[in-house]
Amino acid sequence: MSRPHLAPAGPEAAPVLAELHSQAFDKAWSAQDISALIGGAGAYAVLAQDTAPLGMIMARVLFEEAEILTLAVAPSARRRGIGAALVVAAAGLARQGGAQALVLEVGEDNPAAIALYGACGFVRVGRRRNYYDRGGRQIDALLMRLDLNSERP
């Protein structure tokens, strides 16, 4: 696979971002939800694609902190570095927006995502008990943080 092209995505890309989100999550966000989020203050999205959309990340900067809202990679494109490239792109945009740290929440039942974020330099800083509902099963969210003043990513 060739190296994917990463580019900022605005509200006009919401249908593509929503399709990618639906491939990664049982409770997918609608194009309307995504468009509204991207249109909000400090919010941004990055789309990875080659001949087709491969992945997306959405985040927002609020003062000195940025938050990854969601990250989705198409199942056929996983384990190829696309998620890491999207995280690096989001971190760079967060730095440009004045953020000193990038934070996120991830389900403790998602070892692939936890490993990805750890490889990108995130550290666990907390836990939200029973944060995610997985069809009646409550799952804790791990809170993770990346210091944007460090050398990574």
What is the mean pLDDT for each group of 10 consecutive residues in the chain (153 residues)?
83 96 92 94 95 96 95 94 96 95 96 95 96 90 93 56
pTM above 0.85, yes or no: yes
- Predicted local distance difference test score (pLDDT) of residue 152: 55
CATH of the domain at 135: 3.40.630.30
What is the DSSP secondary structure assignment for residue 76, as one 8-state letter? Answer: G
- Predicted local distance difference test score (pLDDT) of residue 151: 60
Residue 18 lies in a domain: yes
Other CB atoms closer than 10 Å to residue 16's CB: what's the count? Answer: 18
Total domains in the chain come to 1
* Whether residue 11 has a cis bond before it, omega within 30° of 0: no
- Predicted local distance difference test score (pLDDT) of residue 149: 87
- Predicted local distance difference test score (pLDDT) of residue 1: 47
The parent domain of residue 44 ranges over 5-147
Largest pairwise CA distance in the chain: 41
Minimal CA–CA distance to 54: which of 77, 37, 81, 87? 77
Residue 153 lies in a domain: no
- Going by C-beta distance under 8 Å and a sequence separation of 6 or more, which residues neighbour residue 114? 106, 108, 142, 144
Residue 152 lies in a domain: no
In terms of phi and psi (left: phi > 0; alpha: psi -120 to 50; beta: otherwise), the region of 80 is alpha
- Going by C-beta distance under 8 Å and a sequence separation of 6 or more, which residues neighbour residue 72? 20, 21, 23, 24, 25, 55, 56, 57
- Predicted local distance difference test score (pLDDT) of residue 133: 86
User: Is 106 in contact with 141 (CB distance < 8 Å)?
Assistant: yes
- Predicted local distance difference test score (pLDDT) of residue 3: 76
- Predicted local distance difference test score (pLDDT) of residue 73: 96
